[in-house]
Structure 1
Amino acid sequence: MAFDAAHHDAASTRDGHIPHALHPDDPAVAATETGGPGTSPGDLEKPHEYRYETIKGFFLQTEGPKQVDFDVLLARSFGLLDTSPERWTNLRAAVSELQRSAEEGVTYKVLFLGRHGQGWHNFAASKYGHDPWEAHYTYMTTDGELTWGPDPELTELGHEQARTVRRAWGREVEAGAPIDDMTWFVSPLTRTCQTFLDSWEGLYSSPEVWEDWREIYGAHTCDRRSPRTYIAERFPMMQIEEAMTEDDELWRADERETDQHMQMRMRRAMDRVMANNYRTYISVTAHSAILRNLLPVLGHQPYPLATGEMIPVVVKATRLRKA
């Protein structure tokens, strides 16, 4: 089915996808539980409406290469450098001061970017190994024992990874974490919706599902989404964007989306967040490859996210022209 220009991607095969009999990801990050190597595709897409910069000095994840285990980061408030009892109050005050003193056209946001927990495709990729997975199994839906496509669910480990994040938020809310000033965004795939519900149980309000936050389009069966009516019935608490079509018109069996095209989506999504004046603190529950491409858009260093991990980023957005 052709792309619908009125909705999302009318980009041609040349601009957005790679036609080929096989579509291995290089490096393989989407199905790997570790998030792949600590490398970046670089900033491949020019700014659209806003230029983004990562502000250092707030979270450990901006201060150097990834070298601290996620459970350690959870124990220290998702990586806050300030470890005092007033840490969240201090963060709020510092961000508010940045907002107050910002030049015209400049806005600051604090993003909490979470990768979904282990899905059955991650489990299957580990079972078979990355090379056989990328060359063969990722184009299948099942091996007769495991089912990983389309749109796989979380494993029990994946649920537990997300519940671990929820327990950490429970502690941090008591210490003043800014849940009261937060907006939540979710990819429409089942594994991200499940991760969101486990990670934010009892804390969220009106999560918005946007197509742009989803994983790489095309070829790999685990990245094909379910119909809109299924998502609405399965996750009635989610606010699905109006433009989402009933069937997945973005996934094609014979094409695979490029890093540059994913970065186009990430710039588009971030510009939409900024133009609509969402709250200061933003949660995004998404996927490894799309977050790998969001980080260079934000001016952040490479930071591979394992299944269930989350990275906070303080972002400065400068409007380039009237949004």
Structure 2
Amino acid sequence: MADSSTAFPIPEPDRAFHFKYSTVAGYFQQSDDSTDSDTFDFTKENFGLVDRKYETDDDDKDKDKTQWQRFETYVRHLNAHSAEDVQYKVLFLGRHGQGWHNVAEAKYGMKAWDSYYSMLDGADGMTWSDAKLTPTGQQQAKDVHALWQRLLPSGIPAPETYYVSPLTRTLETADLSFAGLDLPADKPYKPIVKELLREALGIHTCDRRSPASTILTAFPHVTLEAGFSDADTLWRPDYREPRSARKYRLQQLLDDVFGSDSDPGVFLALTSHSGAIASVLEAVGHRAFGLRTGGWCRCWRWRRRRLGGE
């Protein structure tokens, strides 16, 4: 078996510092150990935002502001008054809606899926290579769209950047979730495709992306990140990326997002996959929080930049 550190060509960062992440608890239900991810319904819980007071609240000036408006004021206040090497960001982590690979795994069972069917492009009238959304998955994403449309007038901060995995099911989910919303003019929906924001790499054809040219033909409105190759250079037919390597890859994705001078945004949306989201949560010290297809988790994180190694 190949060494997980060299099995996939994930580039090493070229920087004289590294990032340390942690999760700020007490502001979203998802970070509370008492919140059961199996029963939690973000659509009924205001994305999980806790009803509480903030040190920036002004009882006279803010009496008519919503919880979201007061939270945004507080987060931006923290960034404005934090140390130079500390940065706060709020992430909307969304899992794609149901795809045909999810249907196939349920149909054949996990054992048969992992040992045989996942290596096929499809069977029994279904195609799951770079799986598309099922009608159920499309409706799940439309339900998220309706939730955003309902919450935007109440002051929920619109994402300032939309990052999306390059797999078809996530691109479809992002479009159905965000395109056509009544967004602020200075915060339009302009998805950026990030190669490292993918599900576990290798063997499963549902996790092999389409060529860049195919992606741009189907989704001409997206922006592919710099250096995005036409062919999928990460997926391999004979090796499945282990959890440790997936966590390292998603850590690199976070370092890119948090370290980019071109993205000063505080509220970011990342449309991705269950495994990728699990690795993001693990990388930042958040408790494990599973998402059903079409599910979203709201998390608040910060990074500290340190010169040199540690």
Is 1:128 the counterpart of 2:108? The answer is: yes
Counterpart among 3, 13, 18 of residue 14 in structure 1: 3
- Secondary structure in 1 matching 2:42: helix
Residues 1:205 and 2:189 aligned together: yes
Counterpart residue type for residue 297 of structure 1: A
2:103 equivalent to 1:114: no
Task: Tell me what 2:239 maps to.
Answer: 255
Q: Contact (CA 8 Å) 2:4, 2:241: kept in 1 or not?
A: no
TM-score, normalisation: structure 2: 0.85
- Which residue pairs with 2:146 in the alignment? 167
Question: Kindly, what percent of the aligned residue pairs are identical?
Answer: 35
Q: How far apart are the structure 2 equivalents of 1:193 and 1:289?
A: 17
Q: How does 1:231-250 map to 2 (within 5 A)?
A: 231-250=215-234
In structure 2, what residue type is equivalent to 1:161? Q
Q: 1:138-175 deviations in whole A, cap 9, x for unaligned?
A: 111122321111x0100000001111111111111010
> Structure 1 counterpart of 2:41, which letter?
V
- Quick one: structure 1 residues 306 and 242, their matched pair in 2 at CA, closer, same or farther if it must change by over 3 Å? same
Supply the AA of the counterpart residue of 2:281. L
> 1:54 — aligned with what?
23
Match of 1:292, SS?
Answer: helix
Q: Which runs of 5+ in 1 are unaligned?
A: 1-11, 20-47
Q: Give 3-state SS (helix, strand or coil) of 2:297's partner.
A: strand
- Structure 2 equivalent of residue 187 of structure 1: 165
Q: How does 1:37-186 map to 2 (within 5 A)?
A: 49-67=18-36, 72-82=41-51, 86-149=66-129, 151-179=130-158, 182-186=160-164
- Partner-residue secondary structure (3-state), 1:157: helix
The separation in 2 between residues aligned to 1:63 and 1:110, in whole angstroms, is 16
Q: Distance in 2 between matches of 1:144 and 1:241?
A: 36
TM-score (norm: length of structure 1)? 0.82
Q: 1:18 to 1:127 in 2, by over 3 A?
A: farther
| Equivalent residue for 1:292, pick from 272, 278, 285 | 278
CA RMSD of aligned residues (A): 2.2
The range that moved more, 167-176 or 263-272, is: 263-272
Q: CA separation of 1:66/1:209 partners in 2, compared to 1, >3 Å: closer, same or farther?
A: same
Is 1:265 paired with 2:249?
yes
The answer to whether structure 1 residue 282 and structure 2 residue 268 are counterparts is yes
* 1:242 shift after superposition: 2.4
Quick one: which amino acid aligns to residue 299 of structure 2?
A: V
Unaligned runs of 5+ in 2: 9-16, 53-63, 182-187
